Chain A
Amino acid sequence: CLSNTDTCTRGGSTLLGYIGIDTIIEQMRKKTMKTGFDFNIMVVGNSGLGKSTLVNTLFKSQVSRRSAGWARDEKIPKTVEVKAVSHVLEEGGVKMKLTVIDTPGFGDQINNDNCWEPISKYINEQYEKFLKEEVNITRKKRIPDTRVHCCLYFISPTGHSLRQLDVEFMKRLSHSVNIIPVIAKADTMTIEERQEFKQRVRKELEMGGIEFYPQKEFDEDMEDKNDNDKIREAMPFAVVGSDKEYQVNGKRVLGRKTQWGIVEVENPNHCEFAQLRDFLIRSHLQDLKEVTHNIHYESYRAKRLNENGGLHPISCNDTQESNL
């Protein structure tokens, strides 16, 4: 309420009158809605782990590369390719430009040495593009943000442990991008198998020193730490994706129909898709972007500038426009 009263003391503050500082939130919201925001998500994993289906399910629309025209039984490429597809989604007046970056061919060859290199190169190229824009003398008002905000890494549900390739990839990329490991096709495992597998995977991630998002070192305060601890305990999320709907108990739900039952995607007893979606989109979307901008991008920038590889040294005054 924006009433203007003389003798108003709000919430323990010592204001002598109502100023209206709290309307900043409303102003920011209006601005965000007008400009919209970017979100770039990358999916990495062997072919056949349900990456495209999961992305479609997450954003409840056909946003993956497969739906954008590539055939379902397209041949596995000989080298890892990085393909990006963009869509504009709108919800509640808020516009989001979603870019899904797919990596076909990852881990599918007989010899998978260095298959992470094209991906690493792509990520660094996006940072480089942004850096160049920043360093320009006449800068654009809003630098287009193509940096990868989040990388979903799909773990194959073998039930035993992480594969060598998984560990190698995550080790090398956890310092340049936010990695969220996800157990794909979770309907392969019973609940006990799933718990055991998760524990083993978490232990292996710890032993390998792999810091997945949300990283412990970036928790800002106790509240954050508590929330994130709960999430870290439950990761990696075991998910099932589907874009088909079935009738269950009178409701229409997204699911997979098998001969012995229907796997409901959004049922927390069946799989952890709902948790992943809430975490990724409903609570930590902005945080993902901030960590990418403030931490990963900054460390890349510092490295580049220290190399003095052809960039003008700039002053310490780094005021930038907020990239909402």
Chain B
Amino acid sequence: MYFVLVIIPSHYNHCTNRKCLSVCFFLQQRNLEGYVGFANLPNQVYRKSVKRGFEFTLMVVGESGLGKSTLINSLFLTDLYSKDYPGPSQRIKKTVQVEQSKVLIKEGGVQLTLTIVDTPGFGDAVDNSNCWQPVINYIDSKCEDFLNAESRVNRRSMPDNRVHCCLYFIAPSGHGLKPLDIEFMKRLHDKVNVIPLIAKADTLTPEECQLFKKQIMKEIQEHKIKIYEFPDTEDDEDNKLIRKIKEKMPLAVVGSNVVVEVNGKKVRGRQYPWGVAEVENGEHCDFTVLRNMLIRTHMQDLKDVTNNVHYENYRSKKLAAVTCNGVDTTKTKGQLTKSPLAQMEEERREHVMKMKKMEAEMEQVFEMKVKEKKQKLKDSEAELERRHEQMKRNLEAQYKELEEKRRVFEDEKANWEAQQKILEQQKLDASKTMEKNKKKGKIF
């Protein structure tokens, strides 16, 4: 009797070998007996990403004069907008425009292509209805570009220009959100990550700021606006940080391009007669929180949420609209009855048929036109003939007339000559008689 020791691989449901660690349905975690080396994988990913460089698109929306350009300069410590190239808000716009500027930032070997999308003219007119439409159109067009790039045959280069984050600037009134703020955020919260900020926060005292923040969060919840939510991580420490950030939402920020001296240190700040408001001081404003969150900890998450949630929403809506009737547009794309490829084939066939039909139609039309033209030509030929005849007849008539006239003329001429002859004869006779008379007279 032999007992065969069989080492059953882990993907079978059961195993009797003592070497297996546990009986379970899923992949088992095995202890390694030596150094394999795939712990290096994150480093490889990191190196590849660093070589490729990163892209990030940030959109800033708010009325003019809320310090958007200054805040961007402060966040990225570059003068994207300077005196020589003033920000869009320095130029007065009559309608809402969407302008983008790209800048390449390098730090520690990592390259970041930063695109800032600005919306000058937002909320500045007397009548601001639909001032959010250009913004929505811009975001949709970027998603569409990406969708087309994804569906292409050659996908080697897929630049990601989708808007990853939208900073919405709220004016520091101290009371609550304005109707414009609510409308805008309601329309954009499912297209892009919206992060509301309180601009020019040095206008508010700490108590006013607290009240204002509470009021804003209350209104945001009332109107069911979904602002960007920080994901919970497994790390407890991180979670504590995240909870602190969540309590401070919306972040009250102050921006400054100017460096002033405080207690011997040089800091970015705003110099007032009654003190200096420091931008990077956590007790003065939430700027450092915003910067850390936006750049140091959550940039990748913002991009992921844009890719997985907002872009997918857009994509499924777009593709569902394309498929014909019979498909419920509320179903997700996983439940569509036709896969996109088959759908494309059908479309192509339809397209070809349509082309054929159009061709046939055009041929018909062409033939008809040719017939018409021929008929017309015939008609005009007949007409020409008729006219020709008529002209000939006219000419003959005229000729006859002329002949008549000529005859008459000849007759007259003959008459006149005859008359002349008679006259001459008379004259001769007269002179003869005169001579006779003279002779006679002489005799007398």
Which A positions have Cβ atoms within 8 angstroms of B?
46-49, 72-73, 76, 108-113, 156-161, 163-165, 168, 185, 187-188, 190-191, 256-264, 267, 269-270
Contacts and interface: CB of A to CB of B under 8 A. Distances in A.
Contacts of A165: 126
B173 A158 contact: no
Chain B CB within 10 Å, residue with most, of A113, A165, A187, A267: A187
B272 A161 contact: no
A164 B125 contact: yes
B273 A47 contact: no
B118 interface: no
A261 B173 contact: no
A270 B274 contact: yes
B53 interface: no
B134 interface: no
A112 B127 contact: yes
Contact of B274 (A111, A168, A261): A261
Contact of B128 (A73, A111, A161): A111
A160 B90 contact: yes
A164 B126 contact: yes
Interface in B72-123: 89-90, 92
B273 A256 contact: no
Nearest to B70: A159
B13 to A, nearest CB: 63
Contact of B127 (A113, A260, A269): A113
A264 B174 contact: no
Contacts of A46: 173
Contacts of B66: 158
A110 B180 contact: yes
A160 B175 contact: no
B272 A261 contact: yes
Contacts of B171: 48, 156
Q: Is the interface of B mostly helix, strand, loop or mixed?
A: loop
B179 A109 contact: yes
Interface string B11-26: 0000000000000000
A258 B179 contact: no
Contacts of A191: 272-273
A159 B86 CA distance: 14
B65 interface: yes
B275 A260 contact: yes
Contacts of A47: 173, 175, 178
Nearest to A260: B275
A73 B64 CA distance: 25
A285 B125 CA distance: 35
26 contacts: A46-B173, A47-B178, A48-B171, A73-B175, A73-B215, A76-B178, A108-B179, A110-B128, A110-B180, A110-B183, A111-B126, A112-B126, A112-B128, A160-B89, A163-B124, A165-B126, A187-B202, A191-B273, A258-B202, A258-B274, A258-B277, A260-B274, A260-B284, A261-B272, A261-B274, A270-B273
A76 B183 CA distance: 14
A190 B271 contact: yes
Q: For the side of the interface on B, what is the size category?
A: 35 or more
B276 interface: yes
B273 A259 contact: no
A313 B17 CA distance: 118
B206 interface: yes
Contacts of B92: 161
A245 to B, nearest CB: 14
A260 B180 contact: no
B173 A49 contact: yes
Given A73-B175, A108-B178, A267-B273, 15 more contacts: A48-B173, A111-B129, A112-B127, A156-B171, A157-B65, A158-B64, A164-B125, A165-B126, A190-B272, A256-B205, A258-B206, A258-B274, A260-B278, A261-B274, A263-B272
B173 A269 contact: no
B65 A261 contact: no
Contacts of B173: 46-49
B310 interface: no
Q: Looking at A164, A168, A188, A269, which has the most chain B CB atoms within 10 Å of its CB? A: A188
A263 B131 CA distance: 37
B203 interface: yes
Interface string B281-306: 10110000000000000000000000
B200 A188 contact: yes
Nearest to A185: B203
For B171, B274, B277, the residue with the greatest tally of chain A CB atoms inside 10 Å of its CB is B274
A64 B178 CA distance: 22
A159 B65 contact: yes
Nearest to A262: B274
Contact of A48 (B175, B283, B284): B175
B203 A259 contact: no
Nearest to A248: B274
B126 A168 contact: yes
Given A112-B127, A259-B206, A158 B274 contact: no
Contacts of A269: 273
B426 to A, nearest CB: 106
Interface string B249-275: 000000000000000000000111111
B203 A187 contact: yes
Contacts of B284: 259-260
A261 B205 CA distance: 10
In the complex, the 10 A-B pairs of residues with the closest C-beta atoms, listed nearest first: A48-B173, A158-B65, A261-B275, A260-B275, A261-B274, A111-B127, A188-B203, A48-B175, A160-B65, A111-B129
B205 A76 contact: no
Nearest to B215: A73
Nearest to A108: B178
Contacts of B126: 111-113, 164-165, 168
A154 B245 CA distance: 35
Contacts of A112: 126-128
Nearest to A75: B176
B176 A263 contact: no
Contacts of A108: 178-179
Nearest to B174: A48
A77 to B, nearest CB: 11
Contacts of B270: 190
Nearest to A261: B275
Interface in B126-156: 126-129, 131
A12 to B, nearest CB: 49
Contacts of B131: 110
A264 B275 CA distance: 12
